[in-house]
Amino acid sequence: MALYSKKLYYKRGGTIYSVDMFTTTAEVGSEYIGIRDGSTSVYIKIVSVDDPNESYLRLRKSGITKSLAKIRGLLLFSLNSAVLTPTPANYPSTTANGMCLVGTGSSPYVIRYDWSSTNNRYEKNATAPLDISPGGYPRVIGISGDAQFIAVPVQSSPFIHTYKYNSDTGKWAKTAAVYPVISTSYYGCYMASFNSDGSVLVLGNYGDSGAAWHLLVYKWNATNNRFEGTNHCDIQTPRPCYTAMINYPNYSRCIVPFQESSPYVYTYSWNATNNRYEKHNDVDVALPTHGTGGWVKSDGSRMVASSYNGFYSYIWNATNNRYQKTANPSPMYTDYPIYISAFNDGEYLAVGRQAGLSIFKWNATNNRYEEDSSLIDDNGISGTTNGTNQINCNLKRLVITSNTVSPYMKSYTFNG
């Protein structure tokens, strides 16, 4: 794109804002204004006043009030049009084709939103996506990379419901119950994590300290139409865990953040011979406090683990058989930055905080993640802990949600 090196600045209410300009009309479409900077002609896109790209600058054209556009074509994350029929929800999960599933507090408990390219927004699908409702209040819904399998964690027994897509009905049909069943849990499972083809399902069980298993690993058995447990892992976390996440797509690594006991996160590698995850040495620097979420790079070379008081990134050290902490992210937010989505295999992180949404970029020179506010000019949904969960790290859509704060749902297109 022919972005001009200068911006048009203006002041409103004591705050300075800017509008991007271009040196050709190819980037601004059919409606624009042209101005001269010395001998250089530059152009600014014109949009309607209800367009998400609008700025505070107004002009009249053919009797209609228009706005000069803040440029979004160059933003890495561009705000889409408002979600059609948003619902109070938490923990969105999206697929490669843009479909989004959210959990709600009332029947049918799982709602499907489809992406409309024509309207540049998510639109609620009136048809319930599951043939049998899971009940309860679903947590982070797991979706396999090919969208053939869905796992819905809930707070009450049986704690996890699994489904397989039925092309004849256009719904996901409930499978037989996982085996062995989850017998002991305090708050149930918070997050379901699949590998790309859905053959492996990993869960974090928020059971009390007496629960036999906190990390649960299942493999699909087509004959029995159910996910069946392996030996899980050689060493379980000492305390309950919200989540367990595997690297996409091959599940060779697993990270399990947990509560109430340092280092607040365990990491594992898959041992095919023993059919289980086997624990690495502890990370060299513990998380600040209770572990909550995270992400693992597809090749296992880097991982991120989050907590109530900040997230850390770690680099794999094969010699020491452990992940070693990088420099602190900049800035180090402490307002519950617990929900993280990775894009371009971890080059960018979308971090949901109580104050809203932040975008971080990996800086190899400084060995850390650094916030870059130029990549997005929307603050998400402030005043709540936002959900930004995604399993597949190469998606083009980001959805954030709130169960309490309007507009409840926002979506963004990843332009990377």
Helix (H, G, I), strand (E, B) or coil at 231: coil
Name which of 324, 338, 313 is nearest 242 in CA terms: 338
Rounded Cα gap, residues 6 and 181, in angstroms: 61
Query: What are the E-state strand segments in 258-300?
Result: 265-271, 276-279, 291-296
State the burial class of residue 398 (Cβ atoms within 10 Å of its Cβ: 0-12, 13-18, 19+).
buried
User: pTM above the 0.75 mark?
Assistant: yes
Instruction: Show the domains of the chain with their CATH numbers.
Output: 3-69 (no CATH), 77-414 (2.130.10.10)
pLDDT 10s digit of each residue in the chain, 416 long? 467 777 787 777 766 677 888 888 877 878 888 999 888 899 888 888 877 667 778 888 888 888 887 654 456 788 888 999 998 887 888 877 778 999 888 889 999 999 888 888 999 999 999 999 998 778 888 898 888 999 998 888 888 999 999 999 999 999 999 998 876 656 667 788 898 889 999 988 876 445 556 788 999 999 999 999 888 899 988 887 878 889 878 899 999 998 889 999 999 999 999 999 999 999 999 999 999 888 999 999 999 999 999 999 999 999 999 999 999 999 999 999 988 889 988 999 999 888 889 999 999 999 999 998 878 878 888 876 666 655 445 577 889 888 888 899 999 888 77
Q: What is the pLDDT of residue 29?
A: 79
Q: What pLDDT shows up at residue 168?
A: 94
DSSP string, 323-392: EEE-SPPBS---S---EEEEETTTTEEEEEETTEEEEEEEETTTTEEEE-GGG-----S-SSPPB---S-
pLDDT score, position 1: 47
* d(C-alpha 173, C-alpha 193), whole Å: 19
pLDDT tens-digit readout, 182-230: 766 566 677 888 988 899 999 888 764 455 567 889 999 999 999 998 8
Contact 215, 202 (CB under 8 A): yes
Enumerate residues 6+ apart whose C-beta is below 8 A from 115: 97, 98, 99, 100, 121, 122, 123, 397
Nearest Cα to 147, choosing from 129, 160, 161, 134? Answer: 129
